[in-house]
Amino acid sequence: MKLLNGKELADFIKQRQAHQVRGLRQAHAVHPKLAIVQCKDDPIINTYVRLKKAYGADIGIEVDVYNVTQDIVRDLLTKLNQDDSVHGIIVQLPLSNTDETDGIVNLVSPNKDVDALGQDASFDPATPMAIMWLLSGYNIELNGKHILLIGRGKLVGAPLEKMLINSGQDVEVVDRSVEDLSAHTKNADVIITATGSPAILYPAMIKRGAVVVDAGVASESGKTVGDLHESVYERDDLTITPTKGGVGPLTVCSLFDNVIRAARSQVGKA
């Protein structure tokens, strides 16, 4: 088994980003800042927010977290959009009332929409970019391979499908409700799953020698789990993300890359 360890790659990227932030601060007096707007108290969400805050501190980016009720989010986003000291804005999903998701994320100014959730965002979405970085970092060849995406969600599946198609790859997309998932998975050279449903993939469903990227996150019995059943890791022929430290660390890296890009765009405007 070969592990696609995102944490190893993230450590190198983090050093590069810290150097870039120092350069912005010292040479241009630009102090990159990220604002996170959170409307829901949830263990998984809280963990992600803590990780982002800690990562920002490590590379010199200030991260302000706004824990607010959803009824004042629109006014808050208007203020943050107009605040030149804020370079990136995240609306941490899911919202308490998910019916308002599209309307709210599209209120974030496109040049500050570092999560790329709005339809006019100037940046690439963080998790799909992280998956592409992970595959590239481990020299996974995609040309001529049959790639299966499980899940077409707003955060991962849909934007990743677009990226892969734009790069000329052979992509098939299914969701967890497909009648016979194994009929699709057994034919795939590369499987990328992001359904957030615990244990939808089992060893017998995966082609020998396949590459498997688990970008799914769910909570089960108080634990954070992915889309793969733990028995998949008994297969020694797979190239696969570990149970922890696969896509996640690179998602945070990708997000802060967008914050740095947003801050850079301010250089010379003052």
User: pLDDT tens digits for 81-132?
Assistant: 999 999 999 999 888 888 999 999 999 999 999 999 999 999 999 999 999 9
Reported as a pLDDT band with limits 50, 70 and 90, residue 270 is: very low
pLDDT tier, 216 (very low <50, low <70, confident <90, very high otherwise): confident
The neighbouring-strand residues paired with 88 are: 34
233 and 154 share one domain:
yes
On whether both 90 and 47 belong to a single domain, the answer is yes
Predicted TM-score (pTM) of the model is: 0.85
Q: Is the pLDDT of residue 154 over 80?
A: no
220, burial (CB in 10 Å: exposed 0-12, middle 13-18, buried 19+): exposed
Q: What is the pLDDT of residue 80?
A: 98
Are 147 and 190 part of one and the same domain?
A: yes
203 occurs within a structural domain: yes
In this predicted structure, the answer to whether residue 232 has a pLDDT above a threshold of 60 is: yes
Q: Does residue 9 lie in a domain region?
A: no
Are 132 and 231 part of one and the same domain? yes
Q: pLDDT digits over 36-92, tens only?
A: 999 999 888 898 899 999 999 999 999 999 999 999 999 999 999 999 999 999 999
Residue 270 lies in a domain: no
Closest CA relative to residue 88, chosen from 117, 59, 108, 58: 108
Looking at the domain assignment, is residue 76 inside a domain? yes
Query: Domain check: are 132 and 175 in the same one?
Result: yes
CATH of the domain at 210: 3.40.50.720
CA distance 134 to 164: 14
Same-domain pairing of 159 and 221: yes
Residue 40 lies in a domain: yes
**Do 218 and 135 reside in the same domain of the chain?**
yes
Q: Domain span at residue 182?
A: 126-248
Task: State how many domains the chain has.
Answer: 2
In a domain, 198, yes or no: yes
* Of the listed ranges 34-38, 245-249, 266-270, the one predicted with least confidence: 266-270
Check whether residue 131 and residue 236 sit in a common domain. yes
Residue 240 sits in the same domain as residue 136: yes
Q: Is 85 part of any domain? A: yes
Residue 253 pLDDT: 95
Residue 231 and residue 164 share a domain: yes
Burial class for 56, CB neighbours closer than 10 Å (0-12, 13-18, 19+)? buried
Q: At what angle do helices 247-264 and 126-137 cross, to 10 degrees?
A: 110
Do 130 and 54 lie in one domain? The reply is: no
pLDDT in tens, 156-215: 898 999 999 999 999 999 987 788 999 999 999 999 999 878 788 999 999 999 999 999
Quick check: is 259 in a domain?
no
Does 196 or 33 have the greater pLDDT score? 33
Return the CATH number at 73: 3.40.50.10860
